[in-house]
Structure 1
């Protein structure tokens, strides 16, 4: 009887949902200052434009890569002061996760976990320009995910295509 309970518990643990971050890394980093050193003479304050994108792909049966990319363009009038683009990536293990929960996991939870690393990478790159620091504000990845779902649904209605309704980040594949 005790053996049956132990086997039953082992089986439940094997089938239990599991999610963990295995590794984070900077996948891509670029810093450009095309108008230096002349731009340093400008007195006007810069305008900052930030864009954020997420992506993901399946690497193995239960292993996924998620990415968050930020592009920061700072201009004084029409001249670029600096342009920083960084992609922070992470490898995640997601086992026994229902299919309908996998897309939100890759599109919301993973980017939320990676974003602090991305912020630090960008702040460090800008710090190395000798210009004042720029710290990216927090991002609500759930809101971004919902916006992308709405855009995908709208695009499908225009195209007349029917799909599962699940958002797959760029680079990811439905399995």
Structure 2
């Protein structure tokens, strides 16, 4: 059977189900002490299996009573309301840190900022751990695009991405390095006595 909304298929399943249901009621009403009781039990088992198979093809719930359908729908609605409530709570938590303000970089300062971020990745604490660490370089790209603007304009994702290749040690041909004239600052460790 095809999984379609074809009314003839619905009608076929409805009629077939009613025939099986009627025959099951007849068989179950038979005397348990009759000589043909084992045969009746086998027929009940076979028809029950056929009925279960037919239910798996019933996309219209013709095998259910109106009350069962309404009860199932009310149960589904209650579950969906709970899911909506949970999702709204998650959304609120996720958007609490959102902002409409941005950090503005003056025109021409974008590559200097990128250079500083790249330098920060190399800075080590006295414990020799990195000061900042991102397992995936795309985090830096997303952070810059989301929270920074250059000359009050959005920064193109692909423009930022080429400065943060997946593998910094082996950048590949699609990445770019910061031009030397944009290396305006240097992050250095302060030597303490």
TM-score by length of structure 1 reads 0.26
Larger helix fraction of residues: 2
Q: Which has the higher contact order (CA 8 A, sep 6+)?
A: 1
Larger strand fraction of residues: 1
Which one has a bigger Cα radius of gyration? 2
TM-score by length of structure 2 reads 0.24
